[in-house]
Amino acid sequence: MLQNSKSAFGWVTIILHWLIAVLILALLALGFVMRRLPLDPSLQFSLYQWHKSFGFTVLALAALRAAWHVLDRQPQAPAGLSALERRAAGTTHAILIVLALAVPVSGWAVASTSTLNIPSFYFDWFVIPHLPMAKSEAAESFWTSAHSILAYATLGLVAFHAMAALYHHVVRRDDVLVRMLSTRPQRRRELEKTKSSQVIAKRK
């Protein structure tokens, strides 16, 4: 149940997937708001600190996710997928797992190289030290750009990933989406068969 099986994802994969998904989308929105909207400077300062704390949370979860991806078995792709589709899916998933690590690390580099030298005080609980990097305006602006480019690339790939899942669910009518929601995805074709037989049963 916790681990992946031959045909289904376990709860560890499912919970990490959705937790990271929700946090990444919230962080993208927060990052956009705190950088692009004209805000009260005091509120902006707070939003940056929230962004850092949630970002470090994603980094920890993404590290677990990456380790789990390497250590646990991968369920088989649903039948009927071409070799190209399998390769595209596998590559997309691997890149997403790497980006989920790279985006927060590049954000950590921004905080570490910034000449503002603002400590990362994780949810006002403990200080996460800066990475051992030299502070300079040039380094800070480089990592700020890297962080934003990686973040937007993640958003693009997440959109592609979600569209693919919806395509499988709506057009292909396979269990690609459903098996990321439950550890026991009833085969959709079987499900429909059961439903229609119930309808028939009722009619009788």
Partner 1 sequence: MMKQKSKASSAALAFCVMLATTFGPSATRASAPQLSDAAGSYGITAASRIHFSVAQVGGGGIAGDFGKFSGNFRIDGNNIARSSVNFTLYPESVETGERRVEDFLKSSAVFDSATYRTVTFRSTSITQTGPDTAAVEGTLTARGKTRKERFSVKLMDWNNRSISFKIRGSIFRSPYGMDVGTPIYSNVVEFDMNIKGQKR
Give the residue with the Cβ less far from partner 1, 82 or 115: 115
Q: How far is the CB of 87 from partner 1 (least distance, A)?
A: 46
Distance in angstroms (rounded) separating the CA atoms of residues 118 and 27: 19
The residues that touch partner 1, with contacts defined as CB under 8 A, are 40-42, 45, 49, 115-119, 121, 124, 127, 129
User: In angstroms, what is the C-alpha Rg of the chain?
Assistant: 21
The tokens 């902006």 sit on which residue? 44
Q: How far is the CB of 51 from partner 1 (least distance, A)?
A: 14
Q: How far is the CB of 124 from partner 1 (least distance, A)?
A: 6
Distance in angstroms (rounded) separating the CA atoms of residues 8 and 19: 19
- What letter would DSSP give residue 98? H
Q: By three-state DSSP, how is residue 120 classified?
A: strand
Give the residue with the Cβ less far from partner 1, 43 or 191: 43
- CB neighbour list of residue 163: distance below 8 Å, 6 or more residues apart: none
Give the residue with the Cβ less far from partner 1, 91 or 117: 117
Distance in angstroms (rounded) separating the CA atoms of residues 90 and 77: 10
Give the residue with the Cβ less far from partner 1, 16 or 110: 110
Q: How far is the CB of 105 from partner 1 (least distance, A)?
A: 20
